[in-house]
Amino acid sequence: MAAGFQGVDMEQRSLAVASVLTSVAFLEALVNEVWQDAADSLPGQPNSRLTGIPEPAVARLRELWQSDRVERALSPLDKCRIALVCADKAALDQGQEPYQSVKALVELRNALVHFKPEIQWDTDVHRIEKVLGRRVSENPLPQGSPWFPNRVLGAGLAEFSPTVCVELASLWRQRLGLQRDFLSDFAAWPVP
Look up the pTM and report it.
Answer: 0.87
Query: How far from 175 is each of 84, 89, 168, CA to CA, in Å?
Result: 8, 7, 10
Residue-level pLDDT at 1: 46
pLDDT for the residue 5: 56
**7/182 Cα distance (integer angstroms):** 40
Q: What is the pLDDT along the chain (192 residues), one digit of tens a residue?
A: 455 556 677 888 899 999 999 999 999 999 999 999 999 999 989 899 999 999 999 999 999 999 878 888 899 999 999 999 999 999 999 999 999 999 999 999 999 998 777 777 677 777 888 888 889 988 877 666 677 777 888 889 999 999 999 999 999 999 999 998 888 877 777 877
Contact 89, 176 (CB under 8 A): yes
What region, left, alpha or beta, does residue 51 occupy, with left being phi > 0 and alpha being psi -120 to 50 degrees? beta
